[in-house]
């Protein structure tokens, strides 16, 4: 069966509501996180450390810690109940969390704000396995790559809008944060209402009862399932590296803007915009260039592209500051090419009754990767004293190394890459 066009896929029953629901969630997460970041950088929070890098790392770690704590339970829920119900229920919790965010912003208490960030991340943890696991139930198998392209594009479009809005909103209302908080509550309420329109998902064939061991066993069981299939394991490792690189670049972009580029809040937001546009475009290209199949050949192209543009970005930061935006955009496009086939692989090859478990395990490894990214920045900038541009050089070299490791683990990445280049660039079938 040939894959549908993007326009037809969006019009498929319940799929647009699904995209809109997760889009608004990502937008809200991004707005709150950037608002907190700007408050910290401006010194307007009580209880924050004096070092910017330490504060940024605390924000990053608190945002991803719930995945380590609750991802097993989230995976069990996604397999135990209809995924649509899990999405609706977890989305409903975002509304009271945003009312708490209102209180936290008014109090200017950094620890209270971090607590809200933790709750918001917990809500995302329970939403995520069902979000990725439901995609194969909403679309045909031939549409998986394009559906994932739309999913990643809409996510990074939300990041783009959050980045565009966060700087101007902060500048306009830094002394009247009630207006920002009202917007956060309104977005959460709209997302919760839209989630009801998600199409029905399949009822689980087996409803496993709750056991205390579920708090940790789902990740272990998911890991065994991943290790049993070398394609699943390679896709999991590649997806984890995507999150490592994403978290690393988000931290380095802020430090680079402050240390080297001397940007204000608008300039910092612009860096996020450039990368989000790139990832969105790269995700759509990955879906289109997959031609209705799992196109693993795009993974090496994306990995090499991330390495090249990381190195160019480090050079541009000193020589041509304006070029940083272009480098981030192309780097994001390469990241989209890299991750979309990996996500489609995890969804397609996972057994129907284990999709939530496998997504939970993949989320766990992605979270570990993001924590490692925060530790890497903290170690490099605070302890060793390396600048953000130097850390970018290290990041670029790491992209080449990881791409080589993935090819060694699964040579199919390389053979499919050669076949894809031959068929679509050199004109040979």
pLDDT tens column, 255-277: 887 777 777 766 776 787 788 78
Name the CA radius of gyration of the chain, rounded: 21
Q: Is the pLDDT of residue 400 over 50?
A: yes
Range of lowest pLDDT (260-269, 303-312, 352-361): 260-269
**Sign (positive/negative) of CA torsion 39, 44, 45, 48?**
positive
Contacts of 200 (CB under 8 A, 6+ apart): 14, 82, 84
| Nearest partner of 286 among 396, 128, 147, judged by Cα | 147
Angle at 108 between CA 104 and CA 114, to 5 degrees: 55
Range of lowest pLDDT (115-119, 138-142, 344-348): 138-142
Give the pLDDT band of residue 420 (cuts 50, 70, 90).
confident
Q: Is the pLDDT of residue 254 over 90?
A: no
Structural domain 13-197+227-424, CATH architecture: Up-down Bundle (1.20)
Give the pLDDT band of residue 42 (cuts 50, 70, 90).
confident
């Amino acid at each position: 069966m040939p894959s549908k066009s993007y326009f037809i896929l969006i019009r498929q029953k319940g799929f647009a509501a699904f995209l809109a629901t997760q889009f608004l969630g990502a937008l809200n997460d991004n707005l709150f996180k950037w608002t907190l970041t700007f408050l910290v950088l401006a010194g307007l929070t009580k209880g924050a450390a004096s070092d910017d890098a330490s504060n940024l790392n605390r924000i990053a770690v608190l945002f991803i810690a719930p995945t380590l704590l609750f991802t097993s339970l989230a995976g069990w829920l996604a397999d135990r109940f209809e995924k649509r119900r899990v999405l609706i229920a977890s989305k409903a919790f975002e509304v009271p969390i945003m009312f708490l965010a209102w209180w936290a912003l008014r109090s200017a208490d950094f620890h209270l704000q971090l607590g809200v960030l933790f709750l918001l991340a917990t809500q995302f943890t329970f939403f995520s396995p069902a979000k990725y696991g439901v995609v194969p139930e909403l679309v045909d198998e031939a549409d998986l790559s394009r559906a994932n392209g739309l999913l990643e594009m809409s996510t990074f479009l939300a990041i783009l809008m959050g980045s565009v809005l966060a700087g101007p909103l902060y500048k306009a209302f830094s002394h009247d944060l009630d207006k920002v908080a009202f917007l956060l509550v309104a977005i959460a309420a709209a997302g919760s209402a839209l989630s009801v329109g998600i199409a029905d998902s399949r009822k689980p064939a087996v409803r496993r009862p709750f056991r205390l061991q579920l708090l940790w066993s789902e990740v272990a069981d998911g890991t065994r399932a991943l290790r049993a299939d070398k394609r699943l394991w390679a896709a999991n490792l590649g997806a984890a590296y995507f999150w490592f690189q994403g978290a690393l670049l988000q931290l380095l972009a802020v430090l680079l803007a402050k240390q080297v580029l001397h940007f204000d809040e608008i300039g910092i937001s612009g860096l996020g915009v450039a990368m989000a546009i790139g990832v969105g475009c790269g995700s759509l290209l990955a879906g289109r260039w997959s031609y209705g199949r799992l196109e693993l050949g795009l993974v090496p192209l994306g990995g090499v592209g991330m390495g090249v543009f990381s190195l160019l970005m480090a050079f541009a930061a000193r020589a041509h500051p304006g070029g940083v935006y272009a480098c981030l955009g192309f780097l994001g496009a390469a990241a989209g090419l890299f991750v979309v086939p990996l996500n489609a692989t995890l969804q397609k090859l996972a057994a129907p009754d284990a999709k939530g478990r496998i997504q939970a395990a993949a989320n766990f490894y992605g979270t570990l990767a993001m924590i490692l990214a925060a530790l890497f920045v903290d170690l490099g900038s605070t302890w060793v004293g390396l600048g953000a541009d130097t850390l970018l050089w290290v990041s670029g070299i790491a992209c080449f190394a990881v791409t080589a490791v993935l090819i060694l683990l699964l040579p199919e990445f390389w053979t499919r890459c050669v076949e894809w280049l031959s068929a679509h660039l050199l004109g040979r079938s």
